[in-house]
Amino acid sequence: MLRPLRPRPRHPRAAVQVSPATQPQLFDLIYQMCWHLRAPAPQQVWLDTSTTVRCSMHGGLAGILTGETVLHIGLPVVSVISSREFGGLLAQELSHNVSGFCTLFVHAVREMNDWFFDVALEPSLPGEIAPGGRPQRQSEWMRLTRKSLRGWMWLARIPFICLAIVSKLASLATLRLVRRTAARCSANVIGQGGHERMQRKLDLLIEARKAADLEVQRGVAQHRLPENLSLLMARHVAAAAKTRASARAEAAGENAAGLAATIQEEAEEARGASIVAHLPLQQPAASILRQFVDLSRQVSYFYYQHELGLNLHEHRMVADEEVIHQNRREEESLLIIRRYFGGLAHPERAMCGLCSTPNSATALSELQREILQAREALMLWGPQFKVALQEWNQAWQRRRDLEAAATLSLAGFTVSRMQFGTADSTPATLRAEAACQRMVMEHMEGPLQERERVLERRFAAALGMLWWSDPADLSDWLRARRRDLPAWVTIYEAMCGALTSFRELLTLFFAFQTLGAKFANVDDPSAFLTALQSVVPKMLNLLRQIMSTMDGAPFPFTDDGKTIMLNKHLMPGQLPEMPGVSMTLADAASMRGIGLKMASLTSDCVAPYVDAFLSLYHRAFAWLAETAERTETHFLGALNYGGATEILLPDEFSTQRLGMRSRSPDAIAAWKPPS
């Protein structure tokens, strides 16, 4: 019964302490706010991965006797708000320390509420939750003993749960008054409109945190973790904020210039606007922290190690761009492709041009027999093909990782060889290993295409049934699809021809994005420029090769109904001209400027093209797959693959459990019975 009185934190908090020597601009802003508020400055400042800025007593309830406070700043908050909004947020939190007795009362209420809920939410037994999140194997009597003890501990915590609820209700009015006073203090610094905009960003940050946690969970299964949680959340917040801001501005009839003028007027009308007047209006709060990207990456690593209990050497740290491209399971187009092919079609592999198209056998009976034969074949070798496709995808993923690591090593960054299993971390060694992975992919092309020909024959036969059928035998939905079938087939065929080059572009693009995420921490501009020159020309050459392959292909689905070229749709502008690099250039500032310009021009050109190509290819593939699926269902009925041939999306290939339809485990070489 006494154990709940000694609560322990569920996880050790991963944080980094900073000082005035390491972060002078941050402490200048904190001291300035404390001076204007007539509040004591916090004794310690810690940076963590939380989504709040919180001031608490040093040492919990025991710290009330000393009056020393600790300020915890969540780096995700810093990454999504402006510098002036950060000043308003500091004023809001530091206002709790304004007066002596009231300060003790406010912090006592907050600390007691937190203490009660820590007691109520504490795990029942030590070691009940394993660091990696996996339950430990136990004997039957041990499980029964733990269940009994767990039930007893829940009974022991019931009084404290009741006290937590009562304390929350009793302090509800007090906390509401405290929050209202603090919000008024923030509005006095940045204006009421600025305070509301800041709160909207913080609300979006809570949703972004949920999305980031979900991506981290997927990354644990894939052994690929986002290297910078704060920047990943900032990407989610920026996307959501852009959508809401455009809708709000459209409803109000405002433009960007009018919105900026409104923000400026609101900031000038605030009573304490002079406190943050030295901070630029649109300057991000991250500029206040010295080496923000490095700090955020370091805190993210601490979070993985200490709060999640992960071993970093077992996971590959990837840039946020690759995380966003990797986790695409909510995309409707990929779900359609997965449903029709039973997960046996990789979304970045072509299902076109692998076998000859029948010109004579256009009778419905012949096409139906082709589909039925393909269905029977899929049920036989679906699990084996699943294993081969998994290995091909892992080889491509490893090659992307090695190319990114080689580019970082060439730019002068430290790369751990333990993550890649190489003899050293030099660019030559990493690229040699990447070439080996490319050779593995090439050697697997033959066996994969042999099975994909069966998938393509079924795919083409289903679309042929739609095209050569009598319109009277089709439903209204299929007749509407039949009208657009030639246009979508033309787009899909043109893009399939360039898909091999596009995969190469995607591999280099992820390396380029990983390098760009570390641009702020470049120490040697010449090495960074060398790394850029090893990637950028290859990407532009691949881009030209892709465009030449699709030259002449039309795109009829425009907003105005006029047909344009497919290349014009994917890239409305021209390819940029890269700045020249002189061999005698020795000025570090000039090298850094050239590198920044080259990276900016390439990113503005390649990033939209990659997104547009992937989106249109998946859209065309899904449109044809859905059409083929509905055609098969209309004439032959639906196909039930069963658990043996079900494959998940590419980001799940390395973690799924292989299913079996055969009784003999020897039917699949990679399958082993569970121990």
Examine residue 163 and state whether it is found in any structural domain, yes or no: no
Specify the pLDDT at position 2.
Answer: 41
Q: Is 532 or 664 the better-scoring residue by pLDDT? A: 532
Report the Cα 109 to chain-centroid distance in Å: 37
Same domain, 191 and 312: yes
Same domain, 563 and 448: no
Rounded to whole angstroms, what are the CA distances from 471 to 367, 475, 482, 632, 635? 17, 8, 9, 15, 13
Same domain, 623 and 643: no
Residues in Cβ contact with 12 at an 8 Å cutoff, skipping those fewer than 6 apart: 306, 307
**What is the rounded average pLDDT of the residues 372-392?**
89
**What is the rounded average pLDDT of the residues 142-167?**
77
Same domain, 178 and 280: yes
Specify the pLDDT at position 579.
Answer: 66
Sign of the C-alpha dihedral computed for residues 234, 597, 535 and 496 taken in this order: positive
**What is the rounded average pLDDT of the residues 122-150?**
61
Examine residue 427 and state whether it is found in any structural domain, yes or no: yes
Q: Output the six-digit token pair for 74.
A: 């969540």
Q: Which has the closest alpha carbon to 649: 341, 225, 224?
A: 341
Specify the pLDDT at position 569.
Answer: 92
- Read off the pLDDT band of 452 (50, 70, 90): very high
Same domain, 540 and 617: yes
Q: Output the six-digit token pair for 630.
A: 């509905």
Specify the pLDDT at position 12.
Answer: 53
**Coarse DSSP helix, strand, coil percentages of the chain, rounded to the nearest 5 percent:** 65, 5, 30
**What is the rounded average pLDDT of the residues 14-18?**
88
Same domain, 17 and 92: yes
What rounded mean pLDDT belongs to the chain? 78
Same domain, 291 and 412: no
- Bridge partners of 225, per DSSP, are 317
- Residue 144 clears pLDDT 80, i.e. is over it: yes
- Read off the pLDDT band of 362 (50, 70, 90): confident
pLDDT digit string (tens) for 268-308? 566 777 888 888 877 888 889 988 887 888 899 889 988 88
Same domain, 301 and 390: no
Examine residue 452 and state whether it is found in any structural domain, yes or no: yes
Rounded to whole angstroms, what are the CA distances from 452 to 377, 466, 560? 11, 21, 37
Examine residue 475 and state whether it is found in any structural domain, yes or no: no
- Read off the pLDDT band of 355 (50, 70, 90): confident
Same domain, 439 and 528: no
Examine residue 155 and state whether it is found in any structural domain, yes or no: no
- Read off the pLDDT band of 596 (50, 70, 90): confident
Residue the block writes with tokens 């809001």: 92
| Whole-number Å distance between alpha carbons of 153 and 149 | 6
Number of structural domains (the chain) is 3
How does DSSP assign 57-69, residue by residue?
Answer: ETTGGGGGTTT-E
- Residue 496 clears pLDDT 90, i.e. is over it: yes
Same domain, 52 and 185: yes
Q: Is 119 or 494 the better-scoring residue by pLDDT? A: 494
Rounded to whole angstroms, what are the CA distances from 464 to 53, 54, 433, 555? 61, 64, 44, 22
Specify the pLDDT at position 517.
Answer: 62
Residue the block writes with tokens 């991000």: 284
| 53: helix, strand or coil | strand
pLDDT digit string (tens) for 473-490? 899 999 999 999 999 999
Q: What percentage of the chain exceeds 90 in pLDDT?
A: 26
Same domain, 502 and 529: yes
Q: What angle do CA 347, 651, 674 make, to 5 degrees?
A: 120
Q: Are 495 and 616 in contact (CB under 8 A)?
A: yes
Specify the pLDDT at position 122.
Answer: 58
Question: Which 8-state DSSP code applies to residue 577?
Answer: P
Q: Where are the alpha helices (DSSP H) in 22-171?
A: 24-37, 75-80, 83-94, 100-121, 140-170
Q: Are 639 and 367 in contact (CB under 8 A)?
A: no
Q: Are 234 and 76 in contact (CB under 8 A)?
A: yes
How does DSSP assign 479-524, residue by residue?
Answer: HHHHHHHHHHHHHHHHHHHTHHHHHHHHHHHHHHHHHHTTGGG-S-
| Residues of the domain holding 562 | 484-637
Examine residue 623 and state whether it is found in any structural domain, yes or no: yes
- Read off the pLDDT band of 622 (50, 70, 90): very high
Rounded to whole angstroms, what are the CA distances from 490 to 111, 373, 415, 487, 550? 65, 27, 44, 5, 10
Specify the pLDDT at position 228.
Answer: 85
Q: Output the six-digit token pair for 418.
A: 């333990």
Q: Identify the top-confidence range among 157-161, 174-178, 415-419, 466-470.
A: 466-470
Specify the pLDDT at position 485.
Answer: 94
Same domain, 404 and 299: no
Specify the pLDDT at position 152.
Answer: 78
- Residue 371 clears pLDDT 60, i.e. is over it: yes
**What is the rounded average pLDDT of the residues 605-621?**
91
Least confident piece of the model among 95-109, 319-333, 372-386, 454-468: 319-333
Examine residue 162 and state whether it is found in any structural domain, yes or no: no
pLDDT digit string (tens) for 43-89? 899 999 999 898 887 776 566 667 778 899 999 999 999 999 999 89
Specify the pLDDT at position 618.
Answer: 93
